[in-house]
Amino acid sequence: MEKLLDILNQIRSDIDYENENALVDDGILDSFDIVSIVSELSMEYDIDISIDDMTAENFNSAEAMLEMINRIQDED
Amino acid sequence: MAYTSFGFLGFLVLVAAVYYIVPKRFQWAVLLAASYVFYLFSGVAQIAFIVGTTLITYLAGRLMQSIRDDYKSQLAKLPKEAGKEVKQELKKKVNNKIRRVQFGSVILDLLILVVVKYLNFALQNINTIFNLFHYDAKLPLINIIVPLGISFYTFMSMGYLIDVGRGRYEAEKHLGKFALFVSFFPTIVQGPINRYDDVGKQLGQEHKFDYNNFKFGAQLMLWGFFKKMVIADRAFPAVSTIFSADKYLEYNGSIYFFGMLMYALQIYCDFSGGIDIARGAAQMLGINLPQNFERPYFSMSVAEYWRRWHITLGAWMREYVFFPVMLSKPVTKISKFFRQKGKKQIAKLVPSVITPFIVFFLIGVWHGASWKYIAFGLYNATIVASSVALAPVFKKLIEKLKINTDTFSWRVFCIVRTFLVLGVSKILVKAPDLTAALHMVKSIFTQVDFDFIFGFDGRIFELGIDQKNMFVLFVAVIVLFTVSVLQETGLKLRESLAKQNIAFRWAIYLIALIVVLVFGIYGPMYDAADFIYQAY
pLDDT of residue B14: 96
Tell me, yes or no, whether B495 lies in a domain: yes
Verify that B204 and B60 share a domain, yes or no.
yes
Number of domains in chain A: 1
| Closest chain A CA to residue B340 | A43
Flag if A51 and B323 touch (Cβ within 8 Å): yes
Q: How far apart are CA B378 and CA B364, in angstroms?
A: 8
Nearest to A51 among B303, B324, B355 (CB): B324
Q: How far apart are CA B27 and CA B18, in angstroms?
A: 9
Tell me, yes or no, whether B437 lies in a domain: no
Q: Say if CB B64 and CB B70 are below 8 A apart.
A: no
pLDDT of residue B535: 62
pLDDT of residue B146: 83
pLDDT of residue B536: 64
Q: Select from B171, B186, B209 the last residue of a domain.
A: B209
Flag if B307 and A36 touch (Cβ within 8 Å): no
Tell me, yes or no, whether B1 lies in a domain: no
For chain B, give the number of residues.
Answer: 536
| Domain housing B529 | 210-289+447-536
Residues of A in contact with B339 (CB under 8 A): 43
Verify that B181 and B222 share a domain, yes or no.
no
Tell me, yes or no, whether B23 lies in a domain: yes
Per-residue model confidence as pLDDT tens for chain B (536 residues): 788 888 899 999 999 999 999 999 999 999 999 999 999 988 888 899 999 999 999 999 999 999 999 998 888 888 877 777 888 888 889 999 999 999 999 999 999 999 888 888 888 888 888 888 877 777 777 777 788 899 999 999 999 999 999 999 999 999 999 999 999 999 999 989 999 999 999 999 999 999 999 999 999 999 999 999 999 999 999 999 999 888 888 898 899 999 999 999 999 999 999 999 999 999 999 999 999 999 999 999 999 999 999 999 999 998 999 888 888 888 888 888 887 887 877 877 887 888 889 999 999 988 887 888 999 999 999 999 998 888 888 889 998 998 888 899 999 999 999 999 999 999 999 999 888 999 999 999 998 888 888 877 888 888 888 888 899 999 999 999 999 999 999 888 888 888 888 888 888 888 888 888 888 877 544 444 567 666 66
Q: Select from B209, B239, B256 the last residue of a domain.
A: B209
Verify that B61 and B203 share a domain, yes or no.
yes
Verify that B69 and B111 share a domain, yes or no.
yes
Verify that B422 and B389 share a domain, yes or no.
yes
Number of domains in chain B: 3
Q: Select from B401, B430, B459 the last residue of a domain.
A: B430
pLDDT of residue B534: 66
Verify that B382 and B331 share a domain, yes or no.
yes
Q: How far apart are CA B16 and CA B281, in angstroms?
A: 9
Flag if A38 and B351 touch (Cβ within 8 Å): no
Flag if B307 and A30 touch (Cβ within 8 Å): yes
Q: ipTM, 2 decimals?
A: 0.83
CATH number for the domain spanning A56: value is 1.10.1200.10
Tell me, yes or no, whether B26 lies in a domain: yes
Verify that B399 and B535 share a domain, yes or no.
no
Tell me, yes or no, whether B410 lies in a domain: yes
| Domain housing A61 | 2-75
Verify that B76 and B175 share a domain, yes or no.
yes
Verify that B255 and B332 share a domain, yes or no.
no
Tell me, yes or no, whether B519 lies in a domain: yes
Verify that B380 and B462 share a domain, yes or no.
no
3-state secondary structure chain A: CHHHHHHHHHHCCCCCCCCCCCCCCCCCCCHHHHHHHHHHHHHHHCCCCCHHHCCHHHHCCHHHHHHHHHHHHHHC
| Closest chain A CA to residue B323 | A51
Verify that B205 and B236 share a domain, yes or no.
no
Tell me, yes or no, whether B15 lies in a domain: yes
Verify that B198 and B49 share a domain, yes or no.
yes
Q: Say if CB B418 and CB B301 are below 8 A apart.
A: yes
Residue A2 to chain B, least CA–CA distance (Å): 22
pLDDT of residue B281: 96
pLDDT of residue B529: 57
